[in-house]
Amino acid sequence: MTIRSRSAEGRFEKLHELAAELVRLNVDVIVASPTASIRAAQRATKTIPIVMALSGDPVGSGFVASLAHPGGNITGLTSVAQELTAKRLELLKAIAPAMSRVSFLANRSTPKRFVTEIEAAGRVLGTQISPVMVEDAGELDRAFVAMAKARVEGLVVDLVLDQYRQQIADLAIRHRLPTISGPREFAEAGVMAYGPDYPDLFRRAAIYTDRILKGAKPADLPVEQPTKFELVINMKTAKALGITIPPSILARADQIIE
């Protein structure tokens, strides 16, 4: 088996070119993640099977007709990110109940539905949500300066920015902002992480790919949702920010980083 790997290295404008290149190579299956990459692959081909290694909202994004019956050349895994974005805000409020202003840091490719979801959750929790969109790492310093001027008290980070997690975590600590994102690796650099077992989603994507190579059709393979979710808390960072994690939240944690 030959595996041809392509990465935009954070430059989302390159994705369509890379997807078109894979189509010209006439590959048997395209495995893509995250949403922007899946979108590029979808636009590049309607015939080559596409496996979503990680899609936040495949139905809302127009990748599949439904989770049970994808109906086209795309199937794979969903991280149910839209619902989890609101859940992360709830967890952030649980460790700092007094915060009234929270930023949602995302990429400009992040679906507007995610912003709508967290804004709705904010209204329920009595928290004003300020979306901050960046294109790449070069815009992060400016973004945090804008948050400081807006007197933001907490931060929810979209998964699509995970490649910049160390820079985001460093800036959040410098600006004393409690922060939460999805992958457990983010908690190692920041304060909290809550999400599915992301490595397992990629392992499952390999299984989907194998089934398609053996003759299965994407339209007949239901999109799979995660069944296990992890909460990881970095106590060292929390203490540095002067945050006391409630015992009820600590009891729910799958991992506590001391």
* End-to-end CA separation in angstroms for the chain: 43
Residue 69: both structure tokens together: 């019956």
User: What are the residue boundaries of the structural domains of the chain, listed by start?
Assistant: 12-80+198-228, 81-196+230-257
Q: What is the mean pLDDT of residues 59-82?
A: 92
Query: What integer is the mean pLDDT of 66-88?
Result: 90
Q: Which fold is adopted by the domain 12-80+198-228?
A: Rossmann fold (3.40.50)
pLDDT in tens, 149-173: 999 999 999 888 888 989 999 999 9
What's the pTM value of the predicted model, to 2 decimals? 0.83
Is residue 113 within 8 Å of residue 57, measured between CB atoms?
yes
Report the CATH superfamily, name and number, of domain 81-196+230-257.
Response regulator (3.40.50.2300)
Residue 145 and residue 132 in contact, taking contact as beta carbons nearer than 8 Å: no
How many other C-beta atoms lie within 10 A of the C-beta of residue 232?
22
In this predicted structure, the answer to whether residue 67 has a pLDDT above a threshold of 80 is yes
Same fold, 12-80+198-228 and 81-196+230-257: yes
- Summarize pLDDT for 107-119 with one digit per residue, the tens: 887 878 888 889 9
Contact 155, 128 (CB under 8 A): no
